[in-house]
A and B are shown apart, each in its own frame.
Chain A
């Protein structure tokens, strides 16, 4: 057999049925569900008189609309309460396992999947959420789906899928101090564009990737969708196995060894062919800050807001003009001169323990600037929160003037009451700087956790490399 990519291996291992001229039927090993996109799927299932085929492979969690404040209080938002009640009822009726908002294991779906060990190399994983690409960091094939597809997976545990093209992104060079996985993925999106990965599954490789922790790899894969790719993947290796061992749903003892033996067969074969190959050299990479309303509108922290006139393509030029108008920024403004009103450290991109540890090192012994109205830290899961508290990170953040919250999607999407007010500017560790994403009229700048933490202290963006902290690892 010819050399295969990891994507092709996993695809072939999940092929249930294939007919000429039709999409392949692919088996789904894990179906993750949240309250935001699932109620209509369960309703459709019920209306058609169908059952959940494999409740044992389906796991639900409340994350999008949950409060990050006191959850013992009643839910005042009627719509959110209806979502929670629907998920609770749907799980009870169908036998789907549920982490509700009071569970000690609750958190953002893409944080808790890996944390529980439900995410494993070689699996197919779907969720009605575009950031499902996160799980590819373990060498799984994981992608976001729509509500009709959720219903399809509930009913059949399969999905009709067209095979994607493959893209290899080779990240070479050593990551400089102060530069994180977030900066790498923003630089990748800057290079290939927000539609650069459309129709592709991306595989990230090279020493710039293998040197990353699992947390960093998840950050990279998480934002694959921001480059237009449905899935991003990284070959499993010793870093992966060490991170997984001992997690609640990961095999133990001899079974673990057997699993590792299988996982070792997954990486792409030498000589495997990709439809597209991209290289990024990172030894000179600077921390990245977005200036516009797509994640591809990004600059070095040492740079300036670009002049729309510098864009050759008229459609891109117009988009840049609109973006600057929305963001209330003048061309030529130095990135480090942009003042900020709020800081959000959280989201499925950057709310894991490593993110919080690094951000805490930046803020320790310092104070949030007076001009910053709110600085939020929202751990990705309650397990992350508990561990961070054990390490005293919560006290560091609170002493500096940050608010320390409960786990959820929070101000990344603003479906609960953590909303960025109109006209305000936020340094955010999340994944989307779309118009209105964090709140109608809100202005989002995407950065790494250490860059967000430093911006909170300074009141404007700063080059974290000047602070002598932030060396990762």
Chain B
């Protein structure tokens, strides 16, 4: 995974509350077998008119927000479906930082698996960032994960909270399966005192290695 240390980029506003993951990547694109290439489908139904023509009404389609890498949005961003296609799309579109008053739990988790930094700020600070984004064309922020700061070019500096372990993993681009496997002895010891293999009492119509061997 790509490490995240410091990032400076253009801010794009998405002034909507409760943006769900169905909106980010609609169902028809959840039938693909890859993790790549979902940026084209991000916010598909809002972003495109028939024939994949960009919808000029949609905020992110405005010329001034092209090339944005920091998404500013409202509370409960990423609610609904657990589909990781949503953060895959957000990252592939070019975003690296998301700022909102709150995020839905599963989406928030999924962000960290994909090198995305979701930042939670109080409502008033998010309101202020919206005001500045609208007021200044080309509004940019610098996000420093090490220092836990967000700064603009007019001298505004905000700090944000993040769990130290998530921060450590993101700073170093760590694969957490690898981290867990360092504890394999503990997993094995736990399994010995925790037998949970289900016992099957009735015939069920299921493919299993045992059935395949018959």
Q: Which residues of A contact B (CB under 8 A)?
A: 13-14, 16-17, 21-23, 25, 27, 29-30, 36-37, 39-40, 43-44, 48, 50, 53, 55-57, 64-65, 77, 79-80, 82-83, 86, 91-92, 95, 97-100, 103-106, 116-118, 123, 128-130, 144-149, 151-152, 155-158, 160, 162, 194-195, 198-199, 225, 228, 230, 248-252, 294, 315-316, 318-319, 322, 413-415, 432, 434-437, 440-441
Chain A residues with CB under 8 A of B181 = 155-156
> How far is it, in angstroms, between the C-alpha of A412 and the C-alpha of B20 when the chains are bound?
15
Mark B residues whose CB is within 8 Å of A. Answer: 15-18, 20, 22-23, 26-28, 30-35, 45, 74-76, 79-84, 87, 102, 104-106, 109-110, 113-114, 163-165, 176-177, 179-181, 183-184, 186-187, 190-191, 194, 196-209, 212
In terms of DSSP, what is the predominant structure of the interface of chain B? loop
* With A57-B196, A146-B106, A435-B45 as contacts: A130 and B80 at CB distance below 8 Å: yes
Which residue of A has the minimal Cβ distance to B181?
Answer: A156
Is there an interface contact between B17 and A40, defined as CB atoms closer than 8 Å?
Answer: no
Query: In the bound complex, do residue B22 and residue A40 qualify as a contact, i.e. CB atoms below 8 Å apart?
Result: no
Complex CA–CA separation, A456 to B205 (angstroms)? 35
Min CB–CB distance B66 → chain A (angstroms): 24
Asked whether, in the complex, the Cβ of A50 is within 8 Å of the Cβ of B82, the reply is no
Min distance, Cβ A52 to any Cβ of chain B, angstroms: 11
B91 smallest CB distance to A (angstroms): 12
A25 touches B183 (CB 8 A): yes
Given A128-B82, A149-B109, A158-B187, is A50 in contact with B18 using a C-beta cutoff of 8 Å?
Answer: no
Give the shortest distance, in Å, between B83 (CB) and chain A (any CB): 6
A249 contacts B199, CB within 8 Å?
A: yes
A30 to B196, CA, bound (A): 9
In the bound complex, residues from chain B placing their C-beta under 8 Å from that of A48 are 177
Q: Are B201 and A252 in contact (CB under 8 A)?
A: yes
Contacts of A98 in B (CB 8 A): 206-208
A39 to chain B, nearest CB (A): 4
- Contacts A57-B197, A315-B17: A436 and B163 contacting too (C-beta < 8 A)? no
A157 to B184, CA, bound (A): 10
Given the complex, which residues of B lie within 8 Å of A83, measured CB to CB?
31, 33
| Nearest CB in chain A to that of B113: its residue | A148
The 3 A-B pairs at the shortest CB distance, nearest first, are namely A148-B113, A79-B31, A146-B110
Residues in chain A near residue B102, CB distance under 8 A: 195, 198
Please classify the interface of chain A as helix (H, G, I), strand (E, B), loop, or mixed, using the class held by over half of its residues. loop
Whether the pair A414, B18 counts as a contact (CB closer than 8 A) is: no
Q: Which residues of A sit under 8 angstroms from B33, Cβ to Cβ?
A: 39-40, 43, 82-83, 86
Residues of B within 8 A of A104 (CB): 205
Does B165 contact A156, Cβ atoms closer than 8 Å? no
Min CB gap A151→B, angstroms: 7
**The residue from B22, B74, B177, B196 contacting A152, defined by CB atoms under 8 A apart:** B177
Write the chain B residue with the least CB distance to A313: B17
Q: List 20 A-B contacts (CB under 8 A).
A: A43-B34, A56-B197, A57-B197, A86-B33, A92-B207, A97-B207, A100-B207, A105-B204, A148-B113, A148-B114, A152-B177, A155-B181, A157-B191, A195-B79, A198-B76, A230-B105, A251-B201, A318-B16, A414-B27, A440-B26
Contact B16 A319 (CB under 8 A): yes
Using CB atoms, name the residue of chain B closest to A22. Answer: B165
The residues of B that contact A315 with a CB separation of less than 8 Å are 17, 74-75
A415 in contact with B186 (CB, 8 Å): no
Which residues of chain A come closer than 8 Å to B110, judged between CB atoms?
Answer: 146, 148-149
With A and B bound together, what is the CA distance between A26 and B9 in angstroms? 37
Q: Which residue of B lies closest to A80 (CB)?
A: B31
- Whether B18 pairs with A118 at a CB distance below 8 angstroms is no
Give the Cβ gap from A423 to chain B, nearest Cβ, in Å: 14
Chain B residue contacts of A147, Cβ below 8 A: 35, 84
B177 touches A103 (CB 8 A): no
Among B27, B34, B104, B205, contact of A103 (Cβ-Cβ < 8 Å) = B205
Which residues of A sit under 8 angstroms from B165, Cβ to Cβ? Answer: 21-23
User: Of A22, A123, A225, A440, which contacts B45 at CB under 8 A?
Assistant: A440
Given A37-B30, A440-B45, 15 new contacts (CB under 8 A) = A27-B187, A39-B33, A40-B33, A43-B35, A55-B209, A83-B31, A98-B207, A118-B198, A152-B177, A152-B180, A155-B181, A194-B79, A198-B102, A413-B27, A432-B81
Which residues of chain B are within 8 angstroms of A14 by Cβ–Cβ distance?
A: 194
Bound state CA distance, A205 and B98, in angstroms? 36
Q: Which residues of A contact B190 (CB under 8 A)?
A: 16, 27
Q: In the complex, are the beta carbons of B205 and A99 less than 8 A apart?
A: yes
Which residues of chain A are within 8 angstroms of B22 by Cβ–Cβ distance?
A: 432, 434-437
Shortest Cβ distance from residue A78 to the other chain B in the assembled complex, whole angstroms: 9
**When chains A and B are docked, how far (Å) is the Cα of A80 from the Cα of B28?**
10
CA distance A216 to B111 in the complex (A): 34
In Å, the complex CA distance between A256 and B104 comes to 38
How far, in angstroms, from A39 to B16 measured CA to CA in the complex?
32
Asked if B18 contacts A195 (CB within 8 A), the reply is yes
Docked-complex contact B206 and A103, CB < 8 angstroms: yes
Tell me whether A16 and B212 are in contact (CB under 8 A): no
- CB-CB < 8 A to A44: which residues of B? 35
A195-B176 contact given A21-B164, A79-B31, A130-B80, CB 8 Å threshold: no
The 8 Å CB contact of B75, one of A56, A92, A103, A195, is A195
